[in-house]
Amino acid sequence: MKKVCVLGAGSWGTALSIVLANNGHDVMVWSIDPEEVLMLKDYREQRDKLPGVMVPSVIEFTTDMEMAVSGAEVIVCAVPSPFVRSTMKSAAPYVTEGAVIVDVAKGIEDGTYKTMTQIIEEECPKACVAILSGPSHAEEVGRKIPTTVVAGAKCKKVAELVQDVFMNEVFRVYTSPDVIGIELGGSLKNVIALAAGAIDGLGMGDNTKAALMTRGISEISRLVVAMGGHMETVAGLSGIGDLIVTCTSKHSRNRNAGFLLGQGKTYQEAMDEVKMVVEGVYSAKAALALGQKYGVSMPIVEAVNAVLFDGADVKEATKQLLMRDRTSEALNLDWN
């Protein structure tokens, strides 16, 4: 049994706290919001973001960062990606030497273009940092619907510890050393999911969406390899797996926000209607900047940025993608 702290009491933090408690760990969940903590204590349910999923009575909730983090062997960072740095900065004074911090937020920091594990390593240098990612909507994990994810870390023992802590009969965990590949897959698929949702919002068909998703994974692959990651990771749970679920699921906030964009809403109107942090919006600018930095062609990411921040029309952006210069699908293959 491990002493585990979960930072963030939203849908994902709550769902993972249930997994951890059911695995026999001592779990305390921290939230910055006193009303959220009171709700979870009184009703044992995240009524706003995970309705209908009951929280075991053994899980404790607090707004006291020191109480939550002090002595924790495993710390799960489950706050939305824009708040990872500030949250870990607050947690850092209480992190025990050698504690394992597991990032489950998906995003790239605007301005610095750093991944979430890079941010955590900066703010909490005493800890060992890992990532847990894959096709895993909280709405299904909380209801014990079979789910499979991947735990990434630079050190094999750290990844295997995360695997042991989280894995059970309905939550399968693989391990991988390709941290950058896992993080980029989990972050960039949110940007592609905005575009996939917009396709649905425009009323286009399955052919269009399948093409968008396939070319999207191609863009992700190019950037992952350019930044030192591996194609095998892109073909795995944190790449294609996460892209499929995020582009197609009714639970996907990124897909749902994109749907509203396709119907003519601004990105702010879309985020307000979704009522949760749409991480693809925050990652879009960073993804574009990374593509430019590494000389990687990312036309879908460019189109998403144009719609979000430059006032481009969604239908026109789609047309421009279709009318780009002719090219080959596999540029590295030779003709006989």
d(CA 257, CA 260): 5
**156 an active-site residue?**
no
Q: Is the Cβ–Cβ distance between 136 and 149 less than 8 Å?
A: yes
DSSP three-state, residue 287: helix
Six token digits for residue 159: 């990844």
What does 233-273 look like in DSSP terms, one character per residue? HHTSIIIIIHHHHHHH-TT-HHHHHHHHHHTT--HHHHHHH
C-beta of residue 75 within 8 angstroms of C-beta of residue 103: no
| Residue 1 to residue 23: CA distance in whole angstroms | 8
CA–CA dist 103, 165 (Å, integer): 14
The three-state secondary structure class of 164 is helix
Q: Which of 49, 114, 189, 209 is catalytic?
A: 189
Question: Which residue numbers are catalytic?
Answer: 189
